[in-house]
């Protein structure tokens, strides 16, 4: 921060400015705003969830609830007690300048559509704006986001490209992947080359944009189901990276039959076997399940136990179920004990699923069109803009 004009200082000026009021644009502003908002909302009887600090819940004696979700200064109010929600709006209006936008239709670039069958979330406008910005609206569409034969390396011999443009494009694709698990793996791959992007890396980014041109309105669909359980699919592509031979893990979790979280990530260390890579992916999937379980408990949502973890590697499953210590598990000892403990407690049960039914496969490697389309359907992705 520059010293204000007119302030006379000595050469050894060691004073700092004291922030009396948070100003828009300062790093302290969001923190100061959230502290004030939290204090006000807690004063109305809401409880801040420990599993997600931006989530506030209030339970009423008749079994109903009201929920507040906050992202900086964008707020979603939901619940099944309409009178209390209307009262909350009036109370918030007294404390802050707020604008009621009615039923949720558009939030942070996400479009929400409702019907009797369920709720669809997509980012169609965001995709079309991105294609228009990059001049790709008239490009030739691609059927998959990544070619199965492409293996990216850091130094592939091709010419470097504009680093700033590459980073901006990948950053926008990362945000888009919040509602598009179908591009999760390909975006994870291109984001590994942010520092020294080349033409080959940019070609893969363009391929993702070409795929988006074909499916701009595709998104997640949350439907009513009779299921009351959490299911998690975990998978790993052993030594998939040609640069450092690290494996890529992927997992996706379904709550009541609907996809809610997913991840595609390169593992932090080299796995010596496919079983080890799968085993580490299982541990990550179980951590995600425990977090979801804790969140649902805070919402007082009924849940069927044990949660189910699906894996397509028989060796990894046998290691999880077999408590005998042997050489194959020395280097994954912590993960082994963690998984074994959760199975014995009845929190999780591990089940085998064939590779062709492994939903998380789409998050670990590039797939051919037929397999890719089959798995996107299993993820619960639809395009509501397609003509019926």
Using CA atoms, how far apart are residues 265 and 284, in angstroms rounded to an integer?
11
For the ranges 69-73, 180-184, 331-335, the lowest mean pLDDT is seen at 331-335
Using CA atoms, how far apart are residues 214 and 60, in angstroms rounded to an integer?
46
For 63-92, how does the pLDDT look when each residue is reduced to its tens digit (9 = 90+)? 888 899 998 888 999 988 888 888 888 888
Number of residues assigned to the chain: 388
The sign of the dihedral angle between the CA atoms of 269, 270, 276, 279 is positive
Point out which residues pair with 77 in neighbouring strands: 68
| 235 neighbors 161 (Cβ within 8 angstroms) | no
Q: Which two three-digit tokens encode residue 218?
A: 């595709």
32 closest CA partner among 44, 40, 21, 18: 21
* Phi/psi-derived region of residue 6, left when phi > 0, alpha when psi is between -120 and 50, beta in every other case: left
Residue 107 has pLDDT above 80, yes or no: yes
Residue 388 has pLDDT above 50, yes or no: no
362 closest CA partner among 278, 250, 255, 231: 250
At 380, give phi and psi (nearest 5°).
90, 25
Mean pLDDT rounded to a whole number for the chain: 86
The arithmetic mean of pLDDT across residues 175-195, rounded, is: 92
Percent of the chain at pLDDT > 70 equals 91
Residue 206 has pLDDT above 70, yes or no: yes
The overall longest dimension of the chain from CA atoms, in Å, is: 75
For 255-298, how does the pLDDT look when each residue is reduced to its tens digit (9 = 90+)? 988 999 999 999 888 888 888 888 889 989 999 999 999 999 89
Q: Which two three-digit tokens encode residue 12?
A: 């050894």
Q: Which two three-digit tokens encode residue 311?
A: 């894996």
Q: Residue 23: its pLDDT value, please?
A: 64
Cβ neighbour number for residue 249 with a 10 Å cutoff: 27
The arithmetic mean of pLDDT across residues 105-131, rounded, is: 91
Residue 369 has pLDDT above 80, yes or no: yes
Residue 381 has pLDDT above 60, yes or no: yes
99 closest CA partner among 75, 130, 72: 75
Using CA atoms, how far apart are residues 282 and 317, in angstroms rounded to an integer?
9
């Amino acid at each position: 921060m520059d010293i204000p004009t007119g302030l006379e200082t000595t050469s050894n000026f060691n004073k700092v400015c004291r922030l009396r009021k948070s100003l828009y644009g300062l790093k302290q502003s969001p923190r100061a705003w959230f502290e004030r908002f939290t204090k006000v909302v807690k004063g109305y009887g809401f409880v801040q969830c420990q599993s997600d600090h931006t989530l506030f819940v209030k339970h009423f004696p008749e079994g109903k609830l009201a929920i507040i979700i906050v992202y900086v200064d964008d707020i979603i109010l939901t619940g099944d007690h309409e009178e209390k929600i209307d009262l909350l709006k009036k109370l918030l209006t007294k404390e802050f300048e707020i604008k009621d936008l009615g039923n949720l239709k558009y939030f942070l670039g996400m479009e929400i559509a409702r019907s009797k069958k369920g709720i669809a979330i997509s980012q169609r406008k965001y995709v079309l704006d991105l294609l228009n910005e990059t001049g790709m609206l008239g490009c030739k569409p691609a059927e998959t986001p990544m070619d199965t034969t492409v293996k990216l390396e850091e130094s592939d011999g091709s010419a470097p490209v504009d680093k700033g443009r590459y980073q901006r494009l990948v950053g926008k694709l990362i945000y888009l992947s919040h509602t598009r698990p179908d591009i999760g793996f390909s975006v994870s791959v291109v984001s590994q080359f942010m520092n020294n992007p080349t033409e080959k890396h940019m070609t893969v980014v363009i391929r993702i944009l070409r795929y988006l041109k074909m499916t701009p309105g595709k998104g997640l669909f949350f439907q009513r189901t009779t299921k009351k359980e959490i299911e998690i699919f975990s998978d790993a592509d052993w030594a998939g990276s040609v640069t450092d031979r690290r494996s890529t893990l992927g997992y996706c979790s379904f709550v009541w039959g609907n996809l809610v979280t997913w991840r595609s990530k390169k593992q932090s260390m080299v796995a010596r076997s496919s079983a080890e890579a799968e085993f580490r992916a299982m541990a990550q999937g179980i951590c995600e399940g425990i977090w979801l379980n804790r969140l649902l408990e805070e919402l007082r949502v009924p849940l069927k136990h044990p949660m189910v973890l699906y894996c397509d590697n028989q060796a990894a499953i046998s290691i999880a179920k077999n408590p005998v210590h042997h050489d194959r598990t020395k280097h994954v000892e912590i993960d082994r004990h963690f998984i074994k403990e959760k199975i014995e407690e009845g929190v999780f049960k591990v089940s085998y699923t064939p590779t062709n039914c492994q939903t998380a496969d789409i998050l670990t490697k590039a797939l051919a069109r037929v397999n890719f389309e089959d798995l996107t359907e299993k993820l619960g992705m639809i395009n509501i803009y397609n003509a019926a």
